[in-house]
């Protein structure tokens, strides 16, 4: 589980959030912490399901849901990954901007 936690943390996102919290107060930092802990909890639950059943979430969803629901979940996952990559790129760009001006 430690590897999953390390893989989730994005330094650019944290730097951007800390700077935003310094400018706009602690409300932004509190919300970011809540969302990060919720994501870590989801990763923990997903890893636990994988260890217990020996299958990943895609296999479980394909056995439990119909094809339209699986396609909707697949599109949702793809959009989430695109947004996460965009967030990471913008966070790195903002971090580099803070470092080098």
Q: Which domain holds residue 89?
A: 2-100
Is the pTM here over 0.85, yes or no? no
Q: Supply the angle between the helices 67-100 and 11-24 in degrees, to the nearest 10.
A: 70
Residue pLDDT, tens place only, 48-60: 888 999 988 888 8
Which of 3-7, 43-47, 95-99 has the weakest average pLDDT? 3-7
Cα separations (Å) of 10 from 2, 19, 49, 95? 15, 14, 25, 11
Domain count, the chain: 1
């Amino acid at each position: 589980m430690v590897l999953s936690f390390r893989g989730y943390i994005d330094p650019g996102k944290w730097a951007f959030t800390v700077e935003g919290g310094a400018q706009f107060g602690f409300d932004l930092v509190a919300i970011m912490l809540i969302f990060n802990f919720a994501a870590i909890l989801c990763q923990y639950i997903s890893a636990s399901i994988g260890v217990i059943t020996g299958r990943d979430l895609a296999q479980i969803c394909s056995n439990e849901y119909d094809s339209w629901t699986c396609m909707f979940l697949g599109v949702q996952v793809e959009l989430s990954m695109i947004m996460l990559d965009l967030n990471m790129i913008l966070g790195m760009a903002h971090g580099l901007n803070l470092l080098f001006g």
